[in-house]
């Protein structure tokens, strides 16, 4: 970029303090953001806006030490709310008039964590937290802390304080480990933690397996037979379910898009590895449901070559046989697990696709079906969620598909139908 011709920015309907919504996972929730005196306090304004992008109303509470690293004016701009920086006759620390759904201490210093654990209330933050812990004991709010400090300060005292807080019900957001320090995580893992803490979804605490991406079969030592799918939908589904409080195991095929680091993800490099990972994961943990969107290779060579086939060898004839359906093995071995399968067709009518999807849904629990003829280049993915007892639901775009699957699983969980017949 060698030269820019100055011109006005693209007009926007957003006001100066407004944020564009990325979702509604915190819509209607009031979040108290407590900012202590660590250098990571400089990131608080961006964290506040990230919370607001999920619909939250954020009020900043900041100590005198915190104001060394971030200004009250910046916090007021980023939250669009008055900043609380001292105890006053209005007793803002008690939050009686407008109660908060969650109190998030980010960053949480060594000093504040240990004071919390010992019940000390000697300033605006610790007094606010004393009230917050009392409300938490009564089930009226959530309290979260994001520890940030130099590695030398991770003492037995700190460990005991954090363990005590966790026993009381406080959520400790794992820090980002880097350069010998506990650093503030990126914004999304913190927002996810807050959303999970305040979630009332029937899926909260339920374990869900999600799979996706291309799962190839082996041709030779270096070549694979796979598909063009990317796994982006599976990542979107896993993210949506995690936000509402579900515990996610994500399995992606090799070559998929990268999942966020905060999602527990494993990679399957071929069909056999995928099958083994799916079955072993379900065998070792009590899953309520499994969303199996992986594009598993439908064919595999009868005789895969153990070494790389050379082009100088000339013509190479490969005989393919159909691979076993992993979803059928899951259905047989784990009948208590509610399944959401996927079906993709090309050169198919909508009626034929729906007939196939209904048959799959009757067997497994639900089916997400789509066909190439409905997915034009540059147009959002179109799919249909088919479940017994419901009309097929047309969905457009990966976020909409993910939300529909979440809603379906929530309805099943709420009515205790998390297993297929």
Q: Where are the alpha helices (DSSP H) in 138-231?
A: 156-168, 187-198
216 lies in the same domain as 82:
no
Predicted TM-score (pTM) of the model is: 0.91
pLDDT given at position 418: 46
273 lies in the same domain as 410:
yes
Considering the domain boundaries, does residue 236 fall inside one?
A: yes
Alpha carbons 224 and 189: distance in angstroms, whole number: 34
158 lies in the same domain as 178:
yes
pLDDT given at position 1: 61
265 lies in the same domain as 365:
yes
Alpha carbons 80 and 8: distance in angstroms, whole number: 25
135 lies in the same domain as 217:
no
213 lies in the same domain as 184:
no
In contact, 317 and 306? CB cutoff 8 Å: no
261 lies in the same domain as 388:
yes
The parent domain of residue 380 ranges over 207-414
Q: Which of 177, 198, 219 is the last residue of a domain?
A: 198
pLDDT given at position 314: 87
Grouping H, G, I as helix, E, B as strand and the rest as coil, residue 314 is coil
150 lies in the same domain as 277:
no
Q: Which of 147, 173, 198 is the last residue of a domain?
A: 198
CATH number of the domain bearing residue 92: 3.40.50.1950
pLDDT tens sequence across 95-125: 787 899 999 999 999 999 999 999 999 999 9
pLDDT given at position 159: 97
pLDDT given at position 420: 41
CA-CA-CA-CA dihedral for 158, 160, 161, 163, to nearest 10: 120
pLDDT given at position 373: 81
165 lies in the same domain as 256:
no
Q: Which of 137, 167, 198 is the last residue of a domain?
A: 198
130 lies in the same domain as 258:
no
309 lies in the same domain as 350:
yes
- Structure tokens, 78: 């980023």
Point out the residues of the chain with pLDDT beneath 50. Answer: 418-421
Considering the domain boundaries, does residue 3 fall inside one?
A: no
Residues in the chain: 421
pLDDT given at position 421: 38
pLDDT given at position 419: 43
Q: What is the count of structural domains for the chain?
A: 2
């Amino acid at each position: 970029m060698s030269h820019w011709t100055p011109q006005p920015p693209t007009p926007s309907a957003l006001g100066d303090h407004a944020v564009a919504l990325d979702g509604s996972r915190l819509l209607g929730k009031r979040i108290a953001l407590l900012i202590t005196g660590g250098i990571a306090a400089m990131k608080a304004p961006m964290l506040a806006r990230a919370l607001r992008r999920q619909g939250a109303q954020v009020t900043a509470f900041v100590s005198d030490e915190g104001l060394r690293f971030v200004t009250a004016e910046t916090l007021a701009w980023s939250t669009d709310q008055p900043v609380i920086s001292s105890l006053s006759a209005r007793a803002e620390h008690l939050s009686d008039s407008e109660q908060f759904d969650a109190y998030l201490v980010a960053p949480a210093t060594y000093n504040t964590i240990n004071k919390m654990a010992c019940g000390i209330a000697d300033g605006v933050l610790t007094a606010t937290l004393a009230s917050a812990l009392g409300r938490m004991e009564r089930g009226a709010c959530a309290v979260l802390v994001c520890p940030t400090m130099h590695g030398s300060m991770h003492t037995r005292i700190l460990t005991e304080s954090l363990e005590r807080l966790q026993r009381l019900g406080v959520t400790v957001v794992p820090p980002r480990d880097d350069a010998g320090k506990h650093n503030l995580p990126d914004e999304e893992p913190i927002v996810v933690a807050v959303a999970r803490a305040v979630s009332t979804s029937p899926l909260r605490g339920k374990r869900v397996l999600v799979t996706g991406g291309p799962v190839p079969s082996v041709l030779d030592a270096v070549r694979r037979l796979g598909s063009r799918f990317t796994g982006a939908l599976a990542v979107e589904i896993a993210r949506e379910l995690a936000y509402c409080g579900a515990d996610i195991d994500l399995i992606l095929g090799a070559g998929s898009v990268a999942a966020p680091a905060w999602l527990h993800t494993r990679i399957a490099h071929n069909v056999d590895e995928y099958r083994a990972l799916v079955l072993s994961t379900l065998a070792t943990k009590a899953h309520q449901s499994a969303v199996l969107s992986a594009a598993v290779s439908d064919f595999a060579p009868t005789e895969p070559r153990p070494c790389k086939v050379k082009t100088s060898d000339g013509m190479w004839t490969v005989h393919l046989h159909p691979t076993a359906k992993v979803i059928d093995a899951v259905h047989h071995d784990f009948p208590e697990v509610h399944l959401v399968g996927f079906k993709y067709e090309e050169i198919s009518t909508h009626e034929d696709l729906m007939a196939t999807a209904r048959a799959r849904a009757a067997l497994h629990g639900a089916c997400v079906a789509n066909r190439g003829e409905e997915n034009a280049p540059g147009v959002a993915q179109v799919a249909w969620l088919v479940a017994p007892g419901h009309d097929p639901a047309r969905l457009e775009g990966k976020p909409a598909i993910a939300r529909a699957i979440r809603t379906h699983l929530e309805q099943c969980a709420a009515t205790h139908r998390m297993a297929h017949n």
